[in-house]
Structure 1
């Protein structure tokens, strides 16, 4: 250790003894004084400089033009003034706003459920509003044998049916004709006649059901069918899904759809031109709550999930291309008669008819259908839509689909909140922007 220190001290001492003049100094090789710069006189350099100026100017002009174009394109879709006209967090069921619709015929979709006022099918608790399907033979005095034969259900007798058509209020089980009492009961709630909007926003926070052949929906229908029967007066489906698992080929409860229905006749409904879908990669929509929303103006309707930046489908309306032209209905005919424009009398100046009228909100959970929502021969579907005994076929396969239904209210849709905004400042309804 001593020898090492002595060597280090000696080395340090010898380094300090080196004269300053002997040390290396940095030398600059920069030219001093005036000197020739021949490259500045090179024509190629001058041309390159001019090109750079031209390119830079064009880039600036391009960005400026893009900004101007973008401004005028986005301007019609800017955040507009809205007035909150209804909000419900479902601490209780507000029967001044919501009415339960009671029918037996599946509301034109051929669903297999009987919609009721039974509190087992629609009720409120700490989690929100629940719409839950139940089995008819477990929630009524109707036996399984009576579902199939020799039983008549007439809702006009007690006045519970809400339809104006007697056929929607009557069911009879007959093994010869293949008809039966609806094997499932559920609920459908509507704000018709009580809350509606014409242009605005709707947001519904909900969790979807889990179980085969269950059909949850959050949708809107016209207050008055100004243009005629469905789909002439339109339909806005904010959310539609299926309770089947994600293995279902057509998409189960891991996917939902936002859709507009419109057309001169049911056969020419052109929903396929105005539908969008959202599929989540992990889990499904029955695991947690999501916000299903739309923003609706005279110029467009767009669907979104959780936030307006998560757009599902954007439908643009144009005055020079109204929906009658978009659907190319002038080229179609039924019964050798060309399809007339059902919206020719509209006062809209943006080509958005029939979506220029007031619409109300509907919350529903159906079971099964005969309108193609569950395609035939796909995913083990146990019935054929066109079969007269479709309900029989469905109910006879209960041993297969009933075990897929989640327990309790998880087999239904739970709605935590609903918000409806009218476009325009409060006190100025139906402002067209």
Structure 2
């Protein structure tokens, strides 16, 4: 190193650090903690030098933007040199505002048009709502039946006693005993039970005409036989249940019906709330019609056709059994996140000359809606002849009423059927233990009771209230 007057020097590019008074000497490469380590205590113009040599913390000129020189530091350093940027304030009145001097007459419509559009939209909505409410048919109704089941009212309800399967090949004997139909704690119960095993395991004849209890005039509905001869599978109905109706005590022609009920739980149970005509004015079933307010199945929701989570409504109508057009007027409604056997629901019907609909819990939750806006014969699109070549005749249109045959008095039926061979439970679905076409159907069902009977946890149709109203505003055809 060379000595120079006034102190030592180091070659250009080297660093020199001087310790503060009484401080610890600094080693080369050690930052001086007595000053801002970012070099912002003093910001020099590009290329400036401090006394004693170049500022070792100055950013290389190529790494600093030109705007960084002469600007104030984020760390609060005082700027040096000329300030290139400073704020200005425009004095009031110096800026021209021509839009204040002369207003564009079209500008006001920017506000007027949207506001006007809102008011017009609200007015149109109000008119549509008013017109919709005005067009809703509001009939006057008169009470025909309101039963809270303090007792079983035999003046209203009739217990049907039969063994013939009611045209569906059902597997139950309906009884008039309190084993299957009874009132308890203000509720009506229609409960299926097992048949007496002795009537099935031995040769027997179950004759309902002997004691006069049979409610049918057909011997097939009143007599059942068990034949244990090898190869013969004939048995009496393997279960017992109940079926009651209001034919003697309450019927309506147009009006409303509501039944508050909890549906049964158990495999192969078939609960129903439905109506039949008091008189077969137009001919035998289904010519005179049938109204199914609610039908369901006791199987759980995993059942292939839908179990007690599904409520179905339908109308049956047609010129003969083979041409029943029920499938044109059949709708299902699924319970929301529950089943209809989990609690009570209101199953309702509203019926007039111009329409008929069913609902669950609210008239807004409609299941089936049928508008009588054309003759049912035309709606059915029936063939000219049935399968045996017999010509089919229109039994309804001569009335000149488009709702025929649903223009007569109907009565209410409540029942719980068990099984059947009419297809309500489809073959080979979810372990069904019988075939509809088999002569052994009832016996096969009986022999499989170890599988289905344990599922009958709550097999009763439990009803808390039944109400029927007649339309009585003077516009009905009485």
TM-score of Structure 1 vs Structure 2, range by shorter chain: 0.7 to 0.9
Residue 31 of structure 1 and its aligned partner are, at CA, apart by 4.0
Superposed CA offset, 1:291-333 (max 9, x none): 0001101111111111111111211111xx2111111015554
Partner of 2:476: 431
Q: 1:36 to 1:253 in 2, by over 3 A?
A: same
Distance 1:404 1:61 in 2: 56
Partner of 2:211: 158
1:134 maps to 2:134:
no
Residue 78 of structure 1 and its aligned partner are, at CA, apart by 2.2
* Contact 1:302 1:315 (C-alpha < 8 Å) held by counterparts: yes
Partner of 2:291: 236
Alignment TM-score, normalising by the size of structure 2: 0.74
Partner of 1:362: 413
Q: 1:25 to 1:87 in 2, by over 3 A?
A: farther
Q: 1:92 to 1:60 in 2, by over 3 A?
A: same
Residue 411 of structure 1 and its aligned partner are, at CA, apart by 1.0
1:121 maps to 2:180:
yes
Distance 2:188 2:400 in 1: 38
Superposed CA offset, 1:12-65 (max 9, x none): xxxxxxxxxxxx99957684898456x668xxx99x99xx69x959x7699379
1:202 maps to 2:247:
no
Q: Which has the higher contact order (CA 8 A, sep 6+)?
A: 1
2:341 is aligned, of 283, 286, 309, to 286
Show structure 2 runs of 5+ residues with no match.
1-88
Partner of 1:87: 146
SS for the counterpart of 1:107 is: coil
Alignment TM-score, normalising by the size of structure 1: 0.81
Distance 1:238 1:250 in 2: 19
Distance 2:302 2:182 in 1: 31
Partner of 1:335: 388
1:192 maps to 2:253:
no
Q: 1:347 to 1:224 in 2, by over 3 A?
A: farther
Partner of 1:63: 124
Partner of 1:100: 159
Distance 2:409 2:105 in 1: 73
Distance 1:26 1:208 in 2: 84
2:447 is aligned, of 396, 403, 419, to 396
SS for the counterpart of 1:167 is: helix
Partner of 1:249: 304
Distance 1:382 1:418 in 2: 35
* Contact 2:262 2:341 (C-alpha < 8 Å) held by counterparts: yes
1:383 is aligned, of 418, 434, 454, to 434
Distance 2:260 2:212 in 1: 33
Distance 1:182 1:90 in 2: 29
Distance 1:423 1:252 in 2: 34
Partner of 2:462: 414
Worse-superposed segment, 393-402 or 204-213: 393-402
Partner of 1:311: 366
Q: 1:385 to 1:25 in 2, by over 3 A?
A: same
Distance 1:218 1:231 in 2: 17
* Contact 1:122 1:131 (C-alpha < 8 Å) held by counterparts: yes
Distance 2:287 2:275 in 1: 14
* Contact 2:157 2:248 (C-alpha < 8 Å) held by counterparts: no
Coordinate RMSD, CA, aligned: 3.1
SS for the counterpart of 1:400 is: helix
Superposed CA offset, 1:64-93 (max 9, x none): 79729x83x765642211111110000110
Residue 390 of structure 1 and its aligned partner are, at CA, apart by 0.8
Q: 1:105 to 1:36 in 2, by over 3 A?
A: same
Distance 2:302 2:184 in 1: 32
Q: Which one has a bigger Cα radius of gyration?
A: 2
Residue 220 of structure 1 and its aligned partner are, at CA, apart by 0.5
Residue 122 of structure 1 and its aligned partner are, at CA, apart by 0.4
